[in-house]
């Protein structure tokens, strides 16, 4: 097939221990999936109605690349999250099918222009400019699902300039991984290559130019980079 312009490159992530990379199709995110974070944002959790939003695939920043401080904000916030990569998809998946769709896991930051989000919330506007901007999703290399075991006590954390700011355990998630995938599949037809950010624990705060951060899901993935 011939195109009028050169097609864009396919965003991808490295896979631990492998030469091939994981191609990214879409990026889904769940909001308010840790009750303490919802409370710190002045919100409540409706466990019966998980809240989703999206980022573009090319918002993903891979390979520990420096993170450019975005335009149009003076309040860039970090939100550390476990990231799930899918090898299969479908619609209306049950929990068992959802669990089998997982390719692997990583850790990432759902970077947020908090000042623009506050304005959007006040006006009842969408959050796109606050969440879906360029380079707003730095993500680690992926660890294949068969090479790790997640449990309720698995720790997730973020340190900035050597000081821990966010920490929690996966058991604190309101919706677990299989439930998130199953719920998403009632709203979208999921496909191989999809990434899912699974929510952030409490402790979100501002990042400044020059800050160095270390995000980790214990025994799964580490992401280290800096804001430039």
Number of domains in the chain: 1
Angle, CA of 189, 38 and 53, to the nearest 5°: 25
Distance CA 130, CA 132 (A): 6
Instruction: Give the three-class secondary structure for 124.
Output: coil
Position 110 in a domain: yes
Alpha-helix residue ranges (DSSP H) falling in the chain: 35-40, 95-100, 114-123, 128-131, 177-184
Position 44 in a domain: yes
- Token look-up 């998946």 returns 93
pLDDT in tens, the chain (228 residues): 899 999 999 999 999 999 999 999 999 999 999 988 878 787 777 888 899 999 999 999 999 999 999 999 999 999 999 999 999 999 999 999 999 999 999 999 999 999 999 999 999 999 999 999 999 999 999 999 999 999 999 999 999 999 999 999 999 999 999 999 999 999 999 999 999 999 999 999 999 999 999 999 999 999 999 999
Position 18 in a domain: yes
Q: Which CATH number belongs to the domain containing residue 175 in this structure?
A: 3.90.850.10
- pLDDT tens digits, 30-77: 999 998 887 878 777 788 889 999 999 999 999 999 999 999 999 999
Position 4 in a domain: no
Predicted confidence at residue 45, as pLDDT, reads: 79
Position 76 in a domain: yes
Position 166 in a domain: yes
Position 2 in a domain: no
Position 57 in a domain: yes
Q: What is the pTM of this model?
A: 0.97
Domain of 53 in residue numbering reads as 12-226
């Amino acid at each position: 097939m011939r195109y009028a312009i050169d097609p864009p490159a396919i965003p991808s992530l490295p896979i631990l221990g492998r030469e091939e990379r994981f191609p990214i199709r879409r990026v889904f995110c769940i909001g308010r999936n840790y009750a303490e974070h919802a409370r710190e944002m002045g919100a409540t959790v409706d466990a019966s109605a998980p809240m989703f939003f999206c980022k573009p695939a090319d918002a993903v920043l891979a390979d520990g690349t420096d993170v450019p401080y975005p335009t149009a904000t003076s309040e860039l916030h970090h939100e550390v999250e476990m990231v799930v990569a899918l090898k299969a998809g479908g619609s209306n998946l049950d929990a068992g099918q959802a669990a089998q769709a997982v390719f692997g896991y990583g850790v990432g930051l759902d970077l947020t222009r908090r000042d623009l989000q506050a304005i959007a919330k006040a006006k009842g506007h969408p959050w796109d400019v606050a969440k879906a901007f360029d380079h707003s999703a730095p993500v680690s290399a992926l660890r294949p699902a068969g090479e790790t075991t997640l449990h309720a006590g698995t720790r997730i954390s973020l340190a900035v300039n050597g000081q821990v700011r966010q920490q929690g355990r996966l058991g604190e998630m309101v919706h677990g991984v299989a439930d998130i995938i199953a719920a998403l599949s009632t709203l979208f037809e999921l496909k191989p290559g999809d990434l899912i950010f699974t929510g952030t624990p409490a402790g979100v705060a501002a990042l400044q130019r020059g800050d160095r951060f270390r995000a980790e899901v214990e025994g799964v993935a580490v992401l280290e980079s800096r804001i430039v």
